[in-house]
Amino acid sequence: MSSMNRNYLIALGCAASLLLVAGCQANRAASPAASSAALPTMERVALGANGCWFKSGDPAFKAYRLAPELNSFSGRPRILLVPRKSPEARPLAVIQAEGHPARLQAFGPLLSEPVGTRITTDVRRWAAGDEGCN
């Protein structure tokens, strides 16, 4: 192997190492900020709602079904609460986020029902990073 080829390979290896280290540093710095964006926020909310309201068998949510729509091309990932027996019906509650940091919105007739206060409280808690059920 000629010394020119060897020097080229050494330089290429050094450049690749620097890019790898820089990439690791950039990911470490971006991680906390990325968690406040709309999609990660709504992922946390969807996981909390699914686990605490539905998988737990909570009677307050027995008549409803969770319909996550997190892959949104509009930039507004959302979850819907729909009637359990009519999942194609108009949503009874819509919870969505937009932007970075995420701005949450919740609306629909279910929010003016007695369970609405709980929905609002739980969603705010999960959006802030809490993973537990109350």
Is residue 130's pLDDT more than 90?
yes
Tell me the per-residue pLDDT of 102-122, one tens digit each, with 9 for 90 and over.
Answer: 999 999 999 999 999 999 999
Tell me the per-residue pLDDT of 32-87, one tens digit each, with 9 for 90 and over.
Answer: 545 889 999 999 999 999 999 999 999 999 999 999 999 978 889 999 999 999 99
Could you state, in order of their start, the residue ranges of all structural domains in the chain? 1-33, 38-127
Which residue, 43, 57, 66, 58, is CA-closest to 126?
43
Return the CA Rg of the chain. 22
Residue 29, pLDDT score: 42
Q: What is d(CA 10, CA 25) in angstroms, rounded to the nearest whole number?
A: 23
pLDDT band at 3 (very low <50, low <70, confident <90, very high): low
Q: State both tokens at 73.
A: 């091309």
Question: Mean of the pLDDT values across residues 8-28?
Answer: 42
Question: Mean of the pLDDT values across residues 19-32?
Answer: 43
Asked whether the bond before 101 is cis by omega within 30 degrees of 0, the reply is yes
Residue 134, pLDDT score: 83
Give, as one character, the DSSP assignment of residue 51.
I
